[in-house]
Chains A and B, each alone.
Chain A
Amino acid sequence: KQEVTQIPAALSVPEGENLVLNCSFTDSAIYNLQWFRQDPGKGLTSLLLIQSSQREQTSGRLNASLDKSSGRSTLYIAASQPGDSATYLCAVPPGGQNFVFGPGTRLSVLP
């Protein structure tokens, strides 16, 4: 059974810092991994989708990497801003079916 964990559970940083969020999964037989952002009480916004054949994906200040063999993904946020404050979730589809989500990392960027 696929299990997804995220470290840290919460993170508070001053504006302008670069930061890394970690995601680990137990079953490396994945088709892809997706990172989401969730604002309080809201739905999920897709940030990046990494296919299993890819090592990383970039979108603006965000860079996500994937290491299937070690069951890890990282989300790198450059030059953080207060608007980046949200919960970040990673998710993997076991066997290509629907996503198993991690519990999320709650990020606060202080002005």
Chain B
Amino acid sequence: ETGVTQSPTHLIKTRGQQVTLRCSSQSGHNTVSWYQQALGQGPQFIFQYYREEENGRGNFPPRFSGLQFPNYSSELNVNALELDDSALYLCASSLVPGLGTNEQFFGPGTRLTVL
């Protein structure tokens, strides 16, 4: 069984640029959620994808967008980067979205630094 993987591990961008982060879900999982974790804080929910459709969104602006592919892998895109976007971006996969036994399994994260 393959765990959740993310790429790249580290990324440095400048203000105004665009970035794409990638996530491969755990084998058999069809739901992917993305979180942003600023230094010293708990992760904040960005959005979730289930069967290639967005299935819930946190309090993040539209310049944060995503995709899910037929193999359930996912991308997080951030446009017009701001300094405050510097954070660890975590991807989590689960067997089903939402209710009940939605235990989530996290990847190692992508550390984004915006200069």
Residues of A within 8 A of B (CB): 4, 31-32, 34, 36, 41-46, 49, 51, 89, 91, 93, 96-104
Contacts and interface: CB of A to CB of B under 8 A. Distances in A.
B56 A98 contact: yes
B41 A103 contact: yes
Contacts of B99: 31, 96
Contacts of A96: 98-100, 102
List the 6 closest A-B pairs by CB distance, nearest first. A101-B42, A96-B99, A44-B106, A43-B108, A98-B45, A43-B106
Main secondary structure, interface of B, reads: loop
Given A4-B42, A89-B42, A101-B43, A41 B98 contact: no
A44 B43 contact: yes
A43 B92 CA distance: 10
Contacts, number: 68
B26 to A, nearest CB: 11
Contacts of B58: 98
18 contacts: A36-B106, A42-B109, A43-B6, A43-B90, A46-B103, A46-B104, A49-B101, A49-B103, A51-B100, A89-B43, A93-B98, A98-B33, A98-B48, A98-B56, A99-B43, A101-B42, A103-B41, A103-B42
Nearest to A34: B103
B66 interface: no
A32 B48 CA distance: 18
Contacts of A43: 4, 6, 90, 106-109
A96 B101 CA distance: 9
A97 B98 contact: yes
A100 B100 contact: no
A96 B55 CA distance: 12
